[in-house]
Amino acid sequence: MRPRIVCHLIDYGGSTGGSFIPSLAALGSALQARGIDMVVVATRFSGSTWQSELAKAGVEVRFVDDSAHAKAVVQGLRPDIVHSHFLRYDATAAACGARSVFWHVHSARDSYSRLARARSLVKYRVVGARVEAFVAVSHAIGDECVAFSAPRKRVRVVANGVDCEHFRPPEREERTTCRKRLGIAPNERVALFFDRAPSKGGALVREANVGSKSYRLLVAGREQRVEDTRELYWAADALVFASVPTSQCPLAEGLPYVLLEALACGLPIAAAEIPVVREVCHDLKDVVPFTPGDAAGLRRALENALTGKVNGSGRRRVTERFSLPAWTTAIMDLYEQRRQEFRQNGAPSPWLRKTQRSLDR
């Protein structure tokens, strides 16, 4: 039996869509082409505009105030598949009674303490017994899920995808227009940095930038706020990706859209050599690695990125492996694969086996 309704539960705190909302919109369009409706149940966020992007794709959006409200809305929808994102509604997804439940793991863990491991054991082994698949955005995140008690046989890696038609290298006039709009002089070299949280390495970037007159540091999230980050990539000469791993968060990142978007736009990158960078960017000539936390190494890597020639290897990597169509196809295949396994081998838990008969109605 083909599902009739797919519900995505999201705790999304952005006012604009970024690259995550376009991914849901593309998935919604693909599902509709197969006669399946998609509904997004999201935390209410004042000033949000991204819901219009989903509406254009035929995806219904319902806002909720808390987990109890979310559970009531989902149960009223009676979806065949519930797919949760960003942690807050994972338990809600498992408890709503849907035939299939997926938990999407986007971020690295912020704690490796004994308490965190104990809580994870309860989440993945007890509550997670009702979940068909844990969807990790990278192999590093997938391995981390297993280390924190997720059953390996139910961990699936689906890398994030970006719209490579939107995020592309600019034409000369497009680049000139963006730089003028941002007050950048024609011959001025610009390093772009997204400073959204301390873990992004802002302190390190500022230390490396002290006294430098060879380039201008453009800090997104502080100096510049734009609706479409493509404008920033087009205006810049290189991206600084300086996320810092810690003992409590050794992975530092899951699979950030910033990394993929910059590569898709043909931008060279000075990148901290953390697990996701090694996984995505290995052997890319457009990416200059440096040791995480090393300000002098960052300074040298950025200078090389600013002066080196881009050979397009980064964009080719993204279009081949991390495009939006690739992500949509992978999610659709995941739904179909799990449905077939469910029919052939039985549900992964006694709780889910009770609903197995409904698949054959």
Q: What is the DSSP string of 28-43?
A: HHHHHHTT-EEEEEEE
> d(Cα 322, Cα 318) in Å, to the nearest integer?
5
> d(Cα 180, Cα 192) in Å, to the nearest integer?
16
Each residue's pLDDT expressed in tens, for the chain with a length of 361 residues = 567 999 999 999 888 899 999 999 999 999 999 999 999 999 999 989 999 999 999 999 999 999 999 999 999 999 999 999 999 999 999 999 998 999 999 999 999 999 999 999 999 999 999 999 999 999 999 999 999 999 999 999 999 999 999 999 999 999 999 999 999 999 999 999 999 888 999 999 999 998 788 899 999 976 667 889 999 999 999 999 999 999 889 999 999 999 999 999 999 999 999 999 999 999 999 999 999 999 999 999 999 999 988 889 999 999 999 999 999 999 999 998 766 665 555 554 443 444 333 333 3
- What per-residue confidence (pLDDT) applies to 2? 61
SS3 232: helix
> d(Cα 234, Cα 167) in Å, to the nearest integer?
9
- What per-residue confidence (pLDDT) applies to 346? 53
Q: What is the pTM for the complete model shown? A: 0.91
- What per-residue confidence (pLDDT) applies to 182? 94
Q: Which of 267, 256, 274 minimizes the C-alpha distance to 306?
A: 267
> d(Cα 83, Cα 93) in Å, to the nearest integer?
7
- The rounded radius of gyration (Å) of the Cα atoms in the chain is 21
Per the structure block, which two tokens stand in for 142? 């997938």
CATH superfamily of 172-319: Glycogen Phosphorylase B; (3.40.50.2000)
- What per-residue confidence (pLDDT) applies to 345? 56
Hey, which residues does 330 pair with through a beta bridge?
A: none
> d(Cα 211, Cα 343) in Å, to the nearest integer?
64
State residue 222 phi and psi, 5-degree precision: -125, -70
- What per-residue confidence (pLDDT) applies to 227? 82
Per the structure block, which two tokens stand in for 157? 């890696």
- What per-residue confidence (pLDDT) applies to 10? 98
Same CATH topology for 5-161+323-360 and 172-319: the answer is: yes
Give me the residue spans of the domains in the chain. Answer: 5-161+323-360, 172-319
- Fold for domain 5-161+323-360? Rossmann fold (3.40.50)
- What per-residue confidence (pLDDT) applies to 340? 64
Q: What crossing angle do the helices spanning 324-345 and 20-33 adopt, rounded to 10°?
A: 60
